[in-house]
Homo-oligomer: A and B are copies of this chain.
Amino acid sequence: MEVKEKLKKYSDAEHCPVRNVISHFSSKWSILLLHILAEESPMRFGEISRVLEDISPKVLTSTLKNLESVGLVCRKVYAEVPPRVEYSLTPSGRTLIPALAPLVQWSIDNFASIVGNRGQSGKRS
């Protein structure tokens, strides 16, 4: 198939798998969150909050909900007092991690050159 045809087709977000999928975990914390859960599951809400110390509960909630809605994360509620909720990766979520690995590696390898002299030298806001 012609490149142009293919891309014309994928210009429509609804028909582009990559965009459709990426859009779901390209939010600020999604990938980080996935990797946290990949290495340590299950985790409780508060635990995650403590690790991602800069995330607000609201954002964490929405990020988790988003990931849950696309079946990457599993949310398990325990009817206890005090309440306990545990998050973990779904099988589907687990398969995403290795698919992401090369990209992560690339990012690490190219981080320096991408950021240029930022982050490399003493630059810290």
Contact = CB atoms under 8 A, between A and B. Distances in A.
Interface of A: 3-4, 7-8, 10-24, 26, 28, 31-32, 35-36, 39-40, 50-55, 70-71, 92, 95-96, 98-108, 110-111, 113-115, 119, 124-125
Given A92-B113, A103-B103, 20 more contacts: A7-B32, A8-B51, A11-B32, A11-B51, A11-B54, A13-B28, A14-B124, A14-B125, A17-B107, A19-B32, A20-B119, A21-B107, A21-B114, A22-B26, A24-B114, A71-B113, A99-B102, A99-B105, A100-B102, A102-B102
B111 A106 contact: no
B4 A51 contact: yes
